[in-house]
């Protein structure tokens, strides 16, 4: 709603002056700042992301967390307005954008997305485009490059072929209960993941275990918080040699370094050698309180340099608490932020 107000009252804001949005709910704020996705209502989350893209392209918008808004005059005013309209519900229709149904939500999301140059260039075609050229082609031919990218192909004719490894990274928030670990493991195996990097596992002692042929390396939590894990599926082939699938074994997976926020694991056999890093960066509380996050990225660079042999590939699954800026998007993906870089941006680029 704050961003909608900014877009509606754009004449009241100076583009050279940053706008700070205070919040007390971190989960909702992460969704609105595109740091996470709300699975319970993906359409509303998409709408929030679209509004964030549009407002961030016009103004410098930052957020800061307030542990409790109770007693804050602006929060009390917002609460009283919400209570008033809840009691006098028919009057809500007089407020622009409220309430909105899913159709309007989709329309607004599409409209805002079309104002993003990167998205527009990706979906738009030239006026002279000849649609007849594609009409006679089967759907599987048109989508071949998407459905079967070249890097996922195995070449049986080669003596040694590298397989595309299916990996996942996820902040699980806790795996202290065995039932949570059991359900995560079932999905991990069902989706045929080869490697997994998990944060906030909160293992008490960081002991290693092997369940259903999945090696689980862990770093110990800090007073019940943090703790990272790396899962290696020994049933998933890593590469082909002479047309034969080659797998890792229990002895080829070792822990190189571990602390509550960083875990480095080495996977080494006679023919393959690589590192897997699971890490959890600190949260930037505000643009003026980012020292811990910046120092952590510098420390991570040092830890990796001290514990990983130069020249050996590194696969990293990091909960970075960081909105990817275009300067750091190389090798990560096409979706990124193009407005003012986050406070820890320089440290991320150095890493």
* Tens of pLDDT, residues 52-75: 888 888 888 888 777 666 666 666
Domain end residue (candidates: 94, 118, 142): 118
Check whether residue 62 and residue 165 sit in a common domain.
Answer: no
Check whether residue 190 and residue 254 sit in a common domain.
Answer: yes
Domain end residue (candidates: 118, 137, 169): 118
Band of residue 266 on the pLDDT scale cut at 50, 70, 90: very high
pLDDT digits (tens, 9 = 90+) for 181-208: 999 999 999 988 999 999 999 988 888 9
Q: Does 59 fall in a domain?
A: yes
Number of domains in the chain: 2
Rg (alpha carbons) of the chain, rounded to whole number: 24
Q: Does 89 fall in a domain?
A: yes
Check whether residue 113 and residue 214 sit in a common domain.
Answer: no
**CATH number of the domain enclosing 192:** 3.60.10.10
Q: In 95-223, where does DSSP find H-type helix?
A: 102-113, 117-123, 132-135, 139-142, 144-147, 178-190
Q: Which stretch of 38-47, 133-142, 238-247 has the lowest confidence by average pLDDT?
A: 133-142
Domain with 96, as residue range(s), is 2-118
Check whether residue 185 and residue 89 sit in a common domain.
Answer: no
CA distance 44 to 67: 25
Q: Does 134 fall in a domain?
A: no
CA distance 13 to 16: 9
Check whether residue 97 and residue 214 sit in a common domain.
Answer: no
């Amino acid at each position: 709603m704050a961003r909608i107000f900014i877009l509606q009252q754009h004449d009241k804001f100076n583009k050279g002056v940053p706008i700070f949005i205070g919040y007390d709910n971190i989960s909702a704020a992460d969704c609105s700042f595109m740091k996470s996705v709300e699975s319970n209502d993906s359409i509303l989350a998409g709408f929030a992301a679209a509004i964030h893209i549009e407002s961030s392209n016009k103004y410098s918008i930052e957020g800061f967390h307030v542990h409790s808004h109770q007693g804050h005059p602006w929060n009390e005013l917002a609460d009283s307005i919400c209570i008033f309209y809840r009691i006098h519900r028919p009057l809500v229709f007089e407020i622009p954008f409220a309430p909105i149904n899913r159709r309007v939500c989709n329309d607004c999301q599409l409209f805002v997305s079309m104002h993003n140059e990167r998205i527009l260039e990706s979906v738009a075609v030239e006026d002279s485009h000849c649609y007849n050229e594609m009409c006679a082609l089967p759907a599987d031919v048109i989508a071949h490059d998407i459905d079967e990218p070249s890097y996922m192909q195995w070449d049986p004719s080669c003596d040694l072929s590298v397989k595309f490894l299916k990996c996942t990274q996820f902040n699980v928030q806790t795996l202290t209960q065995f039932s949570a670990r059991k359900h995560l493991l079932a999905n991990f195996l069902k989706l045929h993941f080869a490697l997994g990097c998990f944060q906030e596992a909160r293992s008490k002692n960081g002991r290693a275990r092997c369940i259903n042929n999945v090696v689980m390396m862990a770093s110990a939590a800090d007073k019940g918080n943090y703790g990272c894990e790396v899962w290696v599926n020994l049933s998933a082939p890593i590469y082909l040699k002479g047309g034969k699938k080659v797998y890792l074994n229990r002895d080829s997976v070792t822990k190189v370094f571990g602390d509550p926020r960083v875990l480095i694991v080495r996977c080494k056999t006679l023919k393959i050698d690589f590192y897997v890093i699971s890490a959890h960066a600190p949260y930037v509380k505000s643009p003026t309180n980012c020292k811990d996050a910046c120092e952590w990225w510098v420390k991570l660079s040092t830890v990796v340099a001290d514990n990983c042999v130069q020249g050996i590939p590194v696969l990293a699954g990091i909960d970075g608490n960081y909105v990817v800026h275009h300067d750091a998007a190389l090798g990560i993906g096409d979706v990124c932020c193009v407005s003012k870089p986050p406070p820890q941006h320089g440290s991320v680029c150095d890493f």
